[in-house]
Structure 1
Amino acid sequence: MNITRTLAGGALLATILSTSVFAQERTLQLGHLANEDNSWHLAAVKFGEELSALTDGRIAVEVFPNESLGKEIDLINGMQLGTVDMTITGESLQNWAPMAALLAVPYGYKSIEHMDEVASGEIGDQIKAQIIEKVQIRPIAYFARGARELTSNRPITSPDDLNGLKMRVPNVPLFIDVWSALGASPGPMAFSEVFTSLQNGTIDAQENPLALIRSASFYEVQSHVNLTDHVRSWIYLTIAESTWQDLSADDQKAVMEAAARAQAYERELFQESLASDRTFLEDNGMTFVEVDNAAFAAKAKDAVLANVSDEIKPIVEKLFAD
């Protein structure tokens, strides 16, 4: 088996070919928003390789990165209509399945191990079941996302250090309320405006995963990475339920095995990227600051609970209590 990549219609197609005597029977289209260097894309390609091998080349996968097959919501709609087979998606699914909000609860997960325990356990099973029922797409693997961290030009070790810190947050009411409760002065702003606003002092801080802090060159205008870990989250590799039901039991088994291998591969890439990003940022002058995460979580709790739906509130309360 080998991989050939061709450029067609502006989209990079990772087309899985096989030298097997078995003829290719179907091709699954997998669209997503990440670029070709992202671990999600590389894991999606890995999924295609593994599925082709497991099915003796009968099932191929075409991977379309960079939203070239459509934006996230468009892909979900396409999967519901049967025009798209697969995508990578996360808390956007709460538009249909309220439990999907649990994928990204501020201070809901104390460590990546805690998050893994939830995602792969009973709560994760409940989330997946609701997504299948309400959205008609099926999660088959999950990928970790880098924890969101607070950057600034001074060390911040506890909520008391925020003291009205002017910071940019995404235009998400939950984020605004949580940072307000913590003592900062948050405001929404287009991501494209953040670098210049930090540079000219319109804002003093922002929050994002290390990979984005690096790619956006925030190290040029911010001196500290405060390890708040305020949002740990995951995202699903999914297949349209109509596509899933059209597969034989053996092919469904092959899909799940390929997905498990892709998940393990992505986690390796994820861990490598975290280490690489931290080293890069430190080499470019940023100081990493350990913070009192328990104090942040305690002060954020009421704002988080006020912003989640009644359906998931008991689960969020349990997450905070664990």
Structure 2
Amino acid sequence: MLSRRSLFATLAASTAAFAMPHIARAATRKLRLGHNNSPTSITQAHADAFAKAAASLSDGRLAIDIFPSSQLGNEQQMLKAVAEGTLDLTLAPAGVTSPYSSETILVELPFLFPNAAAARAALAGPLGQHCSDLLKPKGIVNLGWGEIGLRNFTANKPIRTVADIQGLKLRVPLAPPILKTFQALGAAAETLPFPQLREALRTGRFEAQENPIAQIIAGEMYTVQSHVSLTRHVYTSSLLAFSADVAEEMSPADLDVLRKAAVIGTKASQDYSDVADVKGLTKLRESGMTVVEDVDRAGFQAAVAAVQGKLAEIFGGDAMRQIRSLVG
């Protein structure tokens, strides 16, 4: 059965064929990809590599037009548009999939992965496949799991222990596992879209935030915060969400091109993250930030473990166990 989008496209093509029989069909299929980060971000690097690979592997049949900086809406709005078939592609963190899957968001549980290598392996394997399978019936085809990175705190003070976040006005992303964990640990945590974050820190609406090094640089957090504390408490991935309606219209060959291009985009995001975690810290130091390395990471892990019961009440114990079992 044709989707509504496919049906309309077929009717439109048939009408055009009768009206203009001598006009050739366009050789290039253009797809729109939106994301909420800046043109200098890791997300843009991911999108650029994907677009370049898609054009090259398809011999120019596929062109990806990229719209950064929330031009097409915020993360939730763009993912909704993809699910509804009104936007072709978006890059979005797993946390914003909550309207479509109560399990997929759990890949952003704090300390789920010991390091980035373990996260990459799990998402390239059964865990990533399981979470992608949960989204497909909702109209979202995940072409691949990219990387945003391991999250760290910034504030105008060092954050070394759990005691340092008690009552702290902390901005977190639109990721329920991160929000609920830090609330359970005593922080005054609230969500806010990333493009609004630097101004919210400047005005004092928030005292602290947490993000991977690449995002801290892209968002210029060093202009409004004095310390970065290397807790590496959450691994944030980025799914390359493709509209299932649009996928139905694509030839098997072009779908294969997109999947191969997605692998190249994923690798570009991982490489960008690796460089940022080394050279990025140098940049932050040169920008005047104090890099706090002597954090009590074990203490944070123990505190998170102690609130697992509260989190299970929110997210479901079975779902949490299922996700953890697939980490490997």
Count of matched residue positions in the alignment of Structure 1 and Structure 2: 293
Change (3 A) 1:106 1:248: same
Preserved contact between residue 150 and residue 228 of structure 1 (Cα < 8 Å): yes
Which digits, 9 at most, give the CA deviation of each residue in 1:157-190, with x for residues without a partner? 443x5384634233877545533544x5424386
1:41 aligns with 2:48: no
| 1:48-101 CA distance string (max 9 Å, x none) | 222222222222221122222333333333333332211112321121112221
Q: Secondary structure at the match of 2:33?
A: strand
Partner residue in 2 for 1:129: 133
Could you report, residue by residue, the CA deviation over 1:225-256 in whole angstroms, capped at 9, with x for unpaired residues?
22111221101112111222222222221111
In the TM superposition, residue 122 of structure 1 has moved relative to its aligned partner by: 0.9
Q: Which residues of 2 match residues 1-322 of structure 1 at below 5 A?
A: 24-90=27-93, 91-133=95-137, 135-152=138-155, 154-159=157-162, 161-162=163-164, 164=166, 166-170=168-172, 174-175=177-178, 177-179=180-182, 181-182=184-185, 184-188=186-190, 191=197, 192-197=199-204, 205-214=208-217, 218-219=221-222, 222-283=225-286, 284-301=288-305, 302=308, 303-316=310-323, 318=325
* Conservation of the 8 A alpha-carbon contact between 1:43 and 1:262: yes
- Using a 3 Å threshold, how does the CA distance of structure 1 residues 131 and 286 change in structure 2: closer, same or farther? same
Aligned residue identity for 1:102: L
Who is 1:18 aligned against?
none
Q: Residue 132 of structure 1: CA displacement?
A: 0.6
Matched residues in 2 for 1:173 and 1:80: separation? 20
One-letter amino acid of the structure 2 residue matched with residue 98 of structure 1: S
Relative to structure 1, the CA distance from residue 316 to residue 295 in structure 2 (aligned partners, 3 Å threshold; closer, same or farther) is farther
Q: Is the 8 A contact 2:83 2:139 kept in 1?
A: yes
Of 170-179 and 117-126, more deviation after overlay is shown by 170-179
After TM superposition, give the deviation of residue 318 of structure 1 in Å. 4.4
CA pair 287-47 structure 1, distance change in 2 beyond 3 A: closer
Deviation at residue 46 of structure 1 after TM alignment: 2.3
CA apart distance, 1:107: 1.8
Q: Deviations over 1:24-56 (max 9, x none)?
A: 242112122222212222322222222222222
Mapped partners of 2:220, 2:41: distance in 1: 17
Change (3 A) 1:206 1:24: same
2:29–2:63 Cα contact (<8 Å) kept: yes
TM-score (norm 1): 0.78
CA contact (8 A) 1:31 1:86 kept: yes
For residue 162 of structure 1, give the secondary structure of its aligned residue in structure 2: helix
Instruction: Pick closer, same or farther for the CA change 1:59–1:310 going to 2, 3 Å.
Output: same
Equivalents in 2 of 1:317, 1:81: separation in Å? 30
Q: State the alpha-carbon separation in 1 of the partners of residues 234 and 167 from structure 2.
A: 19
- Greater percentage in strand: 1
**CA distance in structure 1 between the partners assigned to 2:89 and 2:176 by the alignment:** 30
Q: Following the alignment from structure 2 to structure 1, what is the Cα–Cα distance between the partners of residues 57 and 304?
A: 46
Change (3 A) 1:45 1:285: closer
Contact 1:181 1:299 in 2 (8 A): no
* Larger RCO of the pair (alpha carbons < 8 Å, separation 6+): 2
Deviation at 1:203, TM superposition (A): 7.0
Consecutive unaligned residues of structure 1, counting only runs of 5 or more, are 1-21
TM-score, length-normalised on structure 2?
0.77
Gaps of 5+ in 2: 1-24
> For residues 153 and 165 of structure 1, what CA distance do their matches in structure 2 show?
15
